[in-house]
Amino acid sequence: MKASVIVAVAVVALLGLLGSVFVVREDQTALVLNLGKVVRADLKPGLHFKWPLVESAKTFDRRFQILETNPERYFTSEQKDVSVDFFAIGYIADSRAFYRATSGVESAAAERLAPIVTDSLRNQINSRTLQQLVSGDRNEIVAGQLQAINAAARNLGVQIVDIRIKQIDLPTDSQVITDVYERMRAQRKQVASKLRAEGEEQARTIRAQADRDQAVLVAEAERDAQRMRGEGDAEAARIYAAATAADPGFYAFYRSLEAYRTAFADGNGVIVLDRNDPFLQYLRSDR
C-alpha cells in the first residue's frame, strides 16, 4: 500500500513538474497567463517555470514576418487612378499588447495592420503626380511613413521595419490607360510623319543630285564627242591634203568614186548628163 502511494505521489509530482516547465526557443517570445490574465510577458529564450493548472504559457514567433495585402487603388495629385501592390515587413515587439489586441491570432493582426499601412501610403501617393510616382524613388514614398505607421500599430504590439512597393499599375478600367494609349498612338504617328517627311526630302535630294550628275555626264560626253569629231575631221583633212599632194590623179579618182557611190546609193537614181560630162570621165571604157 505504501509503495503504491509513493508511486502515485511521484507521478503527480512529475506531472506537476512537467506542467510547470516550458521552453522558449531562440526565434520565439512568450507570455504567461494566470487565469486568463497576463502576468509575465516578453519572456526571453530559455527554460521558464509557471504554476501548473493555474498558469498557462503562450509562445509567439518573433522573427520578421511579411504582411501581404491585395493591391490598393489610389488617386494621384492629378486625380488619376492607380493600383499599388505592396508588402510590409515587421515583427512582434510587445507580446502583451499583441495578445490583448488579437488574442494571439496572427491573421487578426494582419487584418488590423493592413488598413493602417494603406491609409498611411495614401497621403504620400495623393501628393504625387503619376510621373513622380512611377519614375521617382519609391523608397521616399514609405520612408517618412514608418514612424506614423508604427505609432498607429503600437496598440497591436507590432513593429514595422520596412514597406516595399512591388508594382504600380494602371487599372484596366481606368481612363488613364486610354489616355496613355492615345498619347502613345499620337506620338508614333508624329514620329512616322517625321520619318516619312525626312525620307521624301532625302529622296528629292538624291533625285536632284542624280539629275545634276546626268546633265554633267551628258555635257562632258557631248564635249568629248565634239572634240573627237573635230580632231577626226582635222585628221581626215590632213590625210586628204597629204594624199592630194602625193598623187593628185589618184585623189581625183577616189573623190569621183565617192561621188558615184553617193549618187547611186539607193539604186533607183536617174541622172541625165551629156556623155562628155566630166562627172562620167572614170566610167568611160577608154580610161
Cα angle for residues 161, 164, 170 (degrees, 5° grid): 155
- Which residues are CB-contacts of 20 (< 8 A; sequence separation ≥ 6)? 49, 50, 51, 52
Tens digits of residue pLDDT in 24-70: 888 788 888 888 788 788 888 888 777 777 778 888 888 888 887 77
Alpha helix segments (H runs only) across 54-174: 95-102, 106-126, 130-135, 138-143, 146-153
What pLDDT score does 50 carry? 79
Query: Which of 180-184, 238-242, 270-274 has the weakest average pLDDT?
Result: 270-274
Tens digits of residue pLDDT in 132-169: 777 766 677 777 778 888 888 888 888 888 888 777 77
Can you read off the three cell numbers belonging to residue 92?
A: 512582434
For the residues 229-243, what does the mean pLDDT come to? 82
Q: Which residue has the higher pLDDT, 269 or 199?
A: 199
Predicted TM-score (pTM) of this structure: 0.49
Spatial distance between the Cα atoms of 217 and 199, rounded to a whole number of angstroms? 26
What pLDDT score does 90 carry? 85
Phi/psi of residue 225, each to 5°? -65, -45
pLDDT band at 206 (very low <50, low <70, confident <90, very high): very high
Q: Does residue 11 register a pLDDT over 60?
A: no
Task: Of 154, 72, 167, 146, give the one whose Cα is nearest residue 114.
Answer: 72
CA dihedral 33, 38, 43, 49 (to 10 degrees): -30
Query: Which of 106-120, 205-219, 233-247 has the weakest average pLDDT?
Result: 233-247
What pLDDT score does 68 carry? 78
Phi/psi of residue 228, each to 5°? -70, -40
What pLDDT score does 254 carry? 72
Q: Does residue 3 register a pLDDT over 70?
A: no
